[in-house]
Amino acid sequence: MTGDNKERGRRFDRERQKVLREGVAIQRDTADQLKTLLGQAEKRIAKILKAAPSDFRHWQLTELQRQVRAELAKFQPDAVATLNAGLDRSHATGQGLVDRPLMAGGVDISGDLMRLDVRKLDATRVFMVDRVKDISEQAAAKITTDLAMAVTGVLSPEDVAKNVAGVLQDGGMKRARTIVRTELGRAFSEAAQERQTQAQAILPGLKKQWRRSGKIHSRFEHDAIDGQIRDVDQPFDLPNGVRLMYPRDPAGPIEEVINCGCSSIPYMESWTVMRPGRQQVTDDERARSRGKRIISDAFE
């Protein structure tokens, strides 16, 4: 291997890592924006409850419930817009996971390839509208139920006000993060897979490699195939028999897809990179995860 090829591989590897970090940052930024929107809804609802008489009765209940639902409905369009922006950024960055490392290695194929098909992305947009609606409707159902319990004396109005934060910032945010990790991550992986499929026709030796997420509490099967290399048109093989074309593959079972943080990265057989195979399990990972210890003992 010549020195020039080694340096090309290093540049390729550095750019891969940079793009992966950008993909994670997009998810983090999107989740933070959703948290802000939920916080704003929480403040508006808290203001409504504070303005209500401390001894409100049945005749007030319907109006209070209506106001709560109206405030949560305001969350929906802004949340959808935030997620759509995150989707677009994730999709573009997923394409960049192929184009940019190759270009860093001295191979510019971007002018020879077609634009990516966005039909899957558009289908995800439609799906996310329902997911966002589900967040607000579940929150509204819980808060309006608490209001009814306050009328009957089971809860005090103060209890209801305290519960609002838990409903939105805990339960609502948990569901929002799941949408972000799964759907934005899927858009990233789908774009990378499609771009690799296009590129393999003109770039001999291009393959793909599974890279584990680095989460402490990750799926054992996903950690076990870290470093696995496949032809672009072939699926990755998990130890439990599941086959995935890429992380968060919608054709895979939901238990292998939801909240997955793994990546499928481009791999050039003839280029030297820092981590050509598995990522080494760190001492911190071993200390905090039994699964990581098993992986480390089995493969390192």
AA identity, residue 286: R
How does pLDDT run across 90-113, given as a tens digit for each residue?
Answer: 999 999 999 999 999 988 887 888
Q: What is the pLDDT of residue 273?
A: 67
How does pLDDT run across 48-60, given as a tens digit for each residue?
Answer: 888 776 666 665 7
Instruction: Give the mean pLDDT of the chain.
Output: 88
How does pLDDT run across 29-47, given as a tens digit for each residue?
Answer: 999 999 999 999 999 988 8
Residues in a beta bridge with 142 = none
Strands 229-231 and 206-211: antiparallel
Q: What is the pLDDT of residue 177?
A: 95
Q: Is the pLDDT of residue 2 over 60?
A: no
Separation CA 181–CA 217 (nearest Å): 15
Mean pLDDT of 263-276: 81
Q: What is the pLDDT of residue 56?
A: 60
Mean pLDDT of 5-15: 87
Separation CA 91–CA 123 (nearest Å): 13
Q: What is the pLDDT of residue 244?
A: 98
Q: What is the pLDDT of residue 285?
A: 77
Q: What is the pLDDT of residue 1?
A: 46
Report the Cα 21 to chain-centroid distance in Å: 13
Which residue spans within the chain are E strands per DSSP? 206-211, 229-231, 236-237, 243-244, 263-268
What are the boundaries of each domain within the chain?
3-299
Structure tokens at 161: 């006000």
Residue with tokens 């098909």: 117
Q: What is the pLDDT of residue 168?
A: 86
Name the most confidently modeled range: 62-66, 116-120, 154-158, 174-178. 174-178
Lowest average pLDDT, out of 77-86, 105-114, 204-213, 235-244, goes to 105-114
How does pLDDT run across 111-153, given as a tens digit for each residue?
Answer: 888 889 888 889 999 988 999 999 999 999 998 888 888 877 7
